[in-house]
């Protein structure tokens, strides 16, 4: 039976852990605020250096001087730069991201459509890459220099060097245009696309919620190719980096000891090495996921996928400042959250940091 004295340290330990979690959470929130503020100030400053006149974009070429000035005032562009930045910050606090000049819609509602589309694509691609990449990493680390190792190296090289738009077009040509196995560019067949209501913005979920026969199957057919294109680029990176981390550990004393005790390669890799490289694995996966969130623009263009990358690119080409700032804000927040989550996961899984 534990005495009162024995129980005290347990209670203190719990309190310490809670306080530590609270401090970590507060630090994370502070990092988020500082990063987002810095990011927005930088993007806002760069936008103001653009040679493109946003007023002309609104009123057109033929507007009179009076119309031009009215629009300039309405957009707040007749104020000084610091004042504009301050007003912009105040609007952000009220969750008002302004109206996009290219879609004519509130940026918030544009992002509410574009972000889930990208999240769905990136998450599925990430899951596919994680399963395939980690499997390849373990199999090739078990037999370095083998046939699979060489094949993975070639696959990784192709995945990294092949342009996504080209690979996307080739896959579309073969699997959509010739074999009719995959769906067309877009998120659903025409028969479903405009009858399925957008509740969540995730096509699989919305198709399932609609209850329309065939809608889920159509959504899967349309998702397969863009997910493959994104996953191919990431799988090779994950496989090579995790393999290198695994092999780096294989020469360590604890591995030699495990071998001496009769452990097989699979057991050594999974039970002994994996916990020691969990930080590397999580970091590689987090970086890959982050790159998928904002770097899928070419894939989104080829597959007519209305995601965040294409939204931001269209806004950049049109100098649509509210849309650029809104998309930058969302991507920045995603990055910071992903970073924090990765740090927490690494702390939780690595005994040395616990």
Quick one: which of 40, 122, 130, 319 contacts other proteins (CB under 8 A)? 319
Using alpha carbons, select from 35, 39, 46, 40 the residue that is nearest to residue 316.
46
Residue 314 binding other proteins, by CB under 8 A? yes
Under the binding rule (CB under 8 A), the answer on residue 184 touching other proteins is yes
Residue 283, both tokens: 């970091």
Piece of the chain touching other proteins by CB under 8 A; list 6-14, 103-111, 335-343, 346-354 = 103-111
306 interacts with other proteins by CB under 8 A:
yes
Calpha distance 35→163 (Å, rounded): 31
State yes or no: residue 190 binds other proteins (CB under 8 A): yes
168 burial class (0-12, 13-18, 19+ CB within 10 angstroms)?
buried
Q: Which of 112, 119, 169, 280 binds other proteins (CB under 8 A)?
A: 169
Where are the strands (E) in 245-294, listed by range? none
The only residue of 36, 220, 247, 341 in contact with other proteins, by rule CB under 8 A? 220
Which range binds other proteins by CB under 8 A, 53-61, 75-83, 233-241, 268-276?
53-61
The reply on whether position 295 binds other proteins by CB under 8 A is no
Q: Does 105 bind other proteins (CB under 8 A)?
A: yes
The verdict on 65 binding other proteins (CB under 8 A) reads yes
Q: Look at residues 190, 189, 223, 196 and name the one whose alpha carbon lies nearest to residue 117.
A: 223
Total chain residues near other proteins (CB under 8 A): 60
Residues sharing a CB contact under 8 Å with residue 244, sequence separation 6 or more, in sequence order = none
How far is the CA of 279 from the CAs of 237, 273, 276, in angstroms? 16, 12, 7
User: Among 176, 279, 285, 336, which residue interacts with other proteins (rule: CB under 8 A)?
Assistant: 176
Contacts of 19 (CB under 8 A, 6+ apart): none
Tokens of 20: 């530590």
Interaction residues for other proteins, span 191-210 (CB under 8 A):
191, 193-194, 198
Q: Report in angstroms the alpha-carbon separations of 23 from 26, 27, 39, 306, 353.
A: 5, 6, 24, 39, 16
The reply on whether position 165 binds other proteins by CB under 8 A is yes
Environment class of 232 (CB within 10 Å of its CB; exposed 0-12, middle 13-18, buried 19+):
buried
**C-beta closer to other proteins: residue 215 or 245:** 215
Residue 59 contacts other proteins per CB under 8 A: yes
**279: Cβ contacts below 8 Å, ≥ 6 apart:** 346, 349, 350, 353
Select 114 or 141, whichever has its Cβ closest to other proteins.
Answer: 114
- CB 36 to other proteins: min, Å: 25
- What residues between 67 and 86 interact with other proteins by CB under 8 A? 67, 70
Q: Is 64 in the site for other proteins (CB under 8 A)?
A: yes
Handedness of CA 203, 204, 206, 211 (dihedral sign): positive
We find the least distance from the C-beta atom of residue 130 to other proteins, in angstroms, to be 17
Q: Is the dihedral of CA 39, 45, 50, 56 positive or negative?
A: positive
Contacting residues toward other proteins, per CB under 8 A:
51-53, 56-65, 67, 70, 101-105, 110, 113-114, 165, 169, 172-173, 176-177, 180-187, 189-191, 193-194, 198, 216-218, 220-221, 224, 301-304, 306, 310-311, 314, 317-319
């Amino acid at each position: 039976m534990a005495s009162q004295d024995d129980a005290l340290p347990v209670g203190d330990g719990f309190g310490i852990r809670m306080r530590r979690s609270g401090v970590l959470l507060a630090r994370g929130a502070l990092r988020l605020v500082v990063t987002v503020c810095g990011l927005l100030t930088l993007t806002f400053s760069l936008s103001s250096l653009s040679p493109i006149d946003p007023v002309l974009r609104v009123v057109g070429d033929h507007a009179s001087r009076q119309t031009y000035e009215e629009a300039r005032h309405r957009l707040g562009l007749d104020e000084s730069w610091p004042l504009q930045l301050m007003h912009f910050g105040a609007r952000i606090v009220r969750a008002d991201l302004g109206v996009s000049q290219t879609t004519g819609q509130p940026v918030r509602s544009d992002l509410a459509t574009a972000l889930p589309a990208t999240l769905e694509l990136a998450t599925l691609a990430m899951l596919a890459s994680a399963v395939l990449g980690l499997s390849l990493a373990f199999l090739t680390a078990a037999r370095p220099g083998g046939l699979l190792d060489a094949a993975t190296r070639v696959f990784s090289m192709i995945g990294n060097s092949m342009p996504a738009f080209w690979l996307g077009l080739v896959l579309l040509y073969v699997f959509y245009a010739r074999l009719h196995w995959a769906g067309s560019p877009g998120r659903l067949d025409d028969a479903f696309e405009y009858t399925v209501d957008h509740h969540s913005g995730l096509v699989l979920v919305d198709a399932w919620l609609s209850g329309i026969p065939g809608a889920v199957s159509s959504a899967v057919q349309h998702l397969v190719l863009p997910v493959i294109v994104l996953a191919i680029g990431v799988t090779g990176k994950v496989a090579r980096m995790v393999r290198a981390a695994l092999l780096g550990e294989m020469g360590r004393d604890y591995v030699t000891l495990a071998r001496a005790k009769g452990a097989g390669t699979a057991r050594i890799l999974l039970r002994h090495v994996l916990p020691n490289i969990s930080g590397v694995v999580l970091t590689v996966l987090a970086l890959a996921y982050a790159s998928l969130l904002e770097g899928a623009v070419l894939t989104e263009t080829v597959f007519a996928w209305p995601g965040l990358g294409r939204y931001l690119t269209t806004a950049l080409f049109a100098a649509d400042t509210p849309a650029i700032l809104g998309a930058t804000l969302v991507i920045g927040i995603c990055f910071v959250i992903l970073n924090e989550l990765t740090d927490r996961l690494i702390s939780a899984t690595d005994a040395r940091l616990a």
